[in-house]
Structure 1
Amino acid sequence: MDAGEIKKYLTELNDELRAIGVKGEICLYGGAVMCLVYNARPATKDVDAIFQPTMEMRQAIERVAATYDLPSDWLNDAVKDYVVPHQQRIFFDFPHLKIFIPEPDYLLAMKALAARAETPDRDDIELLIKLLEIKSAEEVFSILVKYYPVHQQIKPATQYFIEELFK
């Protein structure tokens, strides 16, 4: 899904919520934020998010999937086990759907913790470091520990990659 498609499907999700008389909230994460907010990549395979009210949102998400022949998990909450309290800001404010995004430092912490080799995660980390004007690997690691103190160990390959960015 590219940015235009994501916007279209989120607009449709608002319409589905209006049809059932529900107001929903959603916070986007991962590739969807990198694509929509930072234009860091042309597309993402799905939209990672936390949303409420859960049951009604799932029903509306399924209806959008059926309408546009999307996979049932086009918008999913698989990220929920990795989310910790953080600042959010409103990105879109539709009549029946408020869409939030995390601050870039939180997104960097999530990306650093979950980074996978040979994926856009590495490019995302690099972009967020530049955006935040971070000057050292230690700054990156302190942001990670700020949000994920229990997970102070990031993958060795990710740690090495981050350290190499500053050499």
Structure 2
Amino acid sequence: MLDSATILKLFGALNDELRVAGVRGEIGICGGAVMCLVFNARESTKDVDAIFRPTREIRDAGRAVAQKFGISSDWLNDAAKGFFLSQPPVHDVVELSNLRVWAPQADYMLAMKCVSARFDSHDLDDTKFLLKHLGVKTVEEASTIIEKYYPRNVIPAKTQFLLEELLDNGEAFISRRGQLES
């Protein structure tokens, strides 16, 4: 698992690799890395989901960093790139000599989490955190945020069901840990 300090160290090493190669790179992180680095909502993540450019050069540099640190070669991956349907509103997370790392703002992150609809592992907790962080109280408010970034036809039905379970009537939700939460 990668905690915030480790992720920042890996970005520093990635910057070094890019500097040696004479390349300036840009990474847009999402998923667990944002929840760790930006929101401090969790202690660690298994990998860094991102979009990046130049793709080949950053992928090569990422593999070199993985080898140097003895971690999985897919610690930095673009598996979530299909969820970036538009350019999100962003803020910088890290700015180094040869690497800029940015993250989507909280409302875009909520929309991504809801559209990906992988409500297993940490995704459910991440969604709950983002709803609370944004002060979203109703399904309608959540839907408005999601539809700001995604057309209705790409929003899975299970997203609606989950939001109803989490938000309707202010009902409490039983977390995976068995704790009653509002």
TM-score tier after normalising by the smaller chain length: over 0.9
- Contact 1:32 1:44 survives alignment (8 Å): yes
Query: Identity of aligned pairs, percent?
Result: 46
Question: C-alpha distance in 2, partners of 1:151/1:64?
Answer: 39
- Contact 1:145 1:152 survives alignment (8 Å): no
Question: C-alpha distance in 2, partners of 1:96/1:154?
Answer: 38
Q: Report the Cα offset of residue 105 of structure 1.
A: 0.5
Q: Report the Cα offset of residue 153 of structure 1.
A: 3.7
Question: C-alpha distance in 1, partners of 2:120/2:155?
Answer: 20
Give the structure-2-normalised TM-score: 0.86
Unaligned runs of 5+ in 2: 170-182
Counterpart for residue 8 of structure 1 = 9
Q: Report the Cα offset of residue 154 of structure 1.
A: 2.6
Q: Report the Cα offset of residue 152 of structure 1.
A: 5.2
Question: C-alpha distance in 2, partners of 1:124/1:151?
Answer: 23
Query: Which structure has the higher relative contact order (CA within 8 Å, separation 6+)?
Result: 1
- Report the AA paired with residue 27 of structure 1: G
SS of equivalent residue, structure 1 residue 5: helix
Counterpart for residue 151 of structure 2 = 149
Q: Report the Cα offset of residue 100 of structure 1.
A: 0.6
Aligned CA-pair RMSD:
1.4
Counterpart for residue 59 of structure 1 = 60
- How many residue pairs match? The answer is 166
Question: C-alpha distance in 1, partners of 2:93/2:19?
Answer: 19
SS of equivalent residue, structure 2 residue 51: strand
Question: C-alpha distance in 2, partners of 1:54/1:134?
Answer: 35
Counterpart for residue 104 of structure 1 = 106
Counterpart for residue 45 of structure 2 = 44
- Contact 1:50 1:80 survives alignment (8 Å): yes
Moved more, 109-118 or 74-83: 109-118
Question: C-alpha distance in 2, partners of 1:91/1:164?
Answer: 33
Question: C-alpha distance in 1, partners of 2:104/2:29?
Answer: 7
Identify if the C-alpha distance between structure 1 residues 153 and 99 changes in structure 2 by more than 3 Å, giving closer, same or farther: closer
Q: Report the Cα offset of residue 150 of structure 1.
A: 4.1
Question: C-alpha distance in 2, partners of 1:81/1:114?
Answer: 9
Give the structure-1-normalised TM-score: 0.93
Unaligned runs of 5+ in 1: none
**Which runs of structure 2 are paired with 1:69-148 in the superposition (5 Å)?**
69-85=70-86, 86-148=88-150
Q: Per-residue CA shift, 1:75-107, capped at 9, x if unaligned? A: 001111221112111111101100110011010
